[in-house]
Amino acid sequence: MSIAAAFMVPHPPLIVPAVGRGREREVAATIRAYEKVAEQIADIKPETIIISSPHSVMYYDWFHISPGSGASGSFADFGAPQVCFDEDYDSGLVKLIERLAAEQHIPAGTQGEQDPSLDHGTMVPLWFIRQRYKGGKIIRIGLSGLPLETHFRLGKLIAEAVNQLGRRAVYVASGDLSHKLKSSGPYGFAPEGPEYDRKVMDVCSRGAFEELLSFDESFCRRAAECGHRSFVIMAGALEGMNIRAEQLSHEDVTGVGYGICTFIPSEDPYVRLARMTIETYVSTGKKLSVPGDIPDEMKNTRAGTFVSIHKNGGLRGCIGTITATRQDLAEEIIQNAISASTRDPRFPAVTEDELPYLEINVDVLTEPEEIASPRELDVRRYGVIVTSGWKRGLLLPDLEGVDTVDQQIEIAMMKGGITYDDDITLERFEVIRHK
């Protein structure tokens, strides 16, 4: 699995009714948007809720990740001790994040805890989430004074850990926007305040995450924002995904900016067709009919395709065709998706309980062309077909662990049962990879 969704949310305690005592009505649009976020999380049913909070333990040169099996907290500091939480931590995912951080030289881990209690930047999102969804453990991550690029790298690392463990997780980036929006507000006014809110809401509503890294840090300080680094970690966790971004609300009535956006991965239509095929066939034994809403290119094009399935980072099945065998690309994908999930001789057939944990890629192949020498190959750009008489072996390009042309040819020969005593011909092809 990967990050199933991410959410940019504020954390003013006053929106919790027991704290606000009526003042929460001032930010009704924020509350409605928060309720929608909670409903979306409940629909996803995540195993883990990852929360980055500006009010967790923070160091200049270290990302603190809360240790142990869990933590408690309440809104006692805000006059509402009866609103309390007792949350379990996903210690397994925390351990993997720590290990990957050490390997990648990112200063992050569980050392340096000062106060184990949950902070309000964590509890405000949880208050809304727990109204709708009681399941799932949490991870609580603090920010740091390190550069924005390092926060982004930490987000990528978190997504890598989620993928390795096969967790179904959501990311909640807790953070208010500018605290300098109105002279009547508690922090006064600065011209950078409204400008920051406008810029960050524009960037996040478009899902243009790379632009978050270009914000000048002195500008952010003058705007007195608190959530930018939280948003950047989230951006790293979503890096490389096709994202559907939506702005749900933005309010500045208190002099502090509260923005809520949702970020839902949108599956590539090629991958979606393969996934639907696998789910239908494994669950019912029936072949999926070609849906009517697929792109025209899948109806009007013929090509060889490979469907590969991974689970928890390991290969679970891969079957394909070198050239087109069906009337169109959609039918080619459907047939190969069925074969990859149920007919790969290296693996047992996929079972229904595995379906939520599968990662699926679809490679569409160009027409193979014969080459005279291995020098015309590039393991990142070209796949290779090795042929000797009726024996044939194929290897896709850009595979992890295949770093040289010699390796690529050797593996293809092994797959085709071809020996070094055989006369061979080489062909190369390119792929369009849908992930």
Write down the H helix ranges in 24-105: 28-44, 91-103
C-alpha pair distances (Å), 53 with each of 107, 121, 163, 226: 17, 5, 22, 9
Can you tell me the mean pLDDT for 126-155? 97
**What beta strand segments (E) does 76-197 contain?**
80-88, 108-109, 137-142, 169-174
Q: How far apart are CA 364 and CA 127, in angstroms?
A: 46
Q: Which residue has the tokens 């990662």?
A: 359
Can you tell me the mean pLDDT for 380-388? 94
63-117 confidence digits (pLDDT tens):
999 999 999 999 999 999 999 999 999 999 999 999 999 999 999 999 999 899 9
Cβ–Cβ under 8 Å, residues 163 and 313 = yes
Query: How many CB atoms neighbour CB 145 within 10 A?
Result: 12
What percentage of the chain exceeds 70 in pLDDT?
100
Cβ–Cβ under 8 Å, residues 189 and 181 = yes
C-alpha pair distances (Å), 87 with each of 62, 72, 138, 295: 24, 6, 7, 44
pLDDT at 84: 97
Q: How far apart are CA 70 and CA 48, in angstroms?
A: 13
* Residues near 431 by beta carbon (within 8 Å), at least 6 away in sequence: 306, 363, 364, 365, 366, 383, 396, 397
pLDDT at 265: 87
pLDDT at 1: 53
Q: Is 390 exposed, middle or buried (0-12, 13-18, 19+ CB in 10 A)?
A: exposed
Residue 197 has pLDDT above 90, yes or no: yes
C-alpha pair distances (Å), 226 with each of 113, 156, 254, 258: 21, 21, 15, 11
Can you tell me the mean pLDDT for 37-60? 96
Domain with CATH 3.30.700.20 in the chain: 269-434
Q: Given this structure, which CATH class describes domain 3-265?
A: alpha beta
Name which of 166, 165, 167, 192 is nearest 178 in CA terms: 192
Name which of 310, 289, 290 is nearest 358 in CA terms: 310
Q: How far apart are CA 177 and CA 390, in angstroms?
A: 65
209-218 confidence digits (pLDDT tens):
999 999 999 9
Which CATH architecture does the domain made up of 269-434 adopt?
2-Layer Sandwich (3.30)
Name which of 123, 75, 79, 93 is nearest 1 in CA terms: 93
Q: Considering the chain, what is the average pLDDT of its residues?
A: 95
Domain with CATH 3.40.830.10 in the chain: 3-265
Q: Which two tokens stand for residue 377?
A: 């190959």
pLDDT at 357: 83
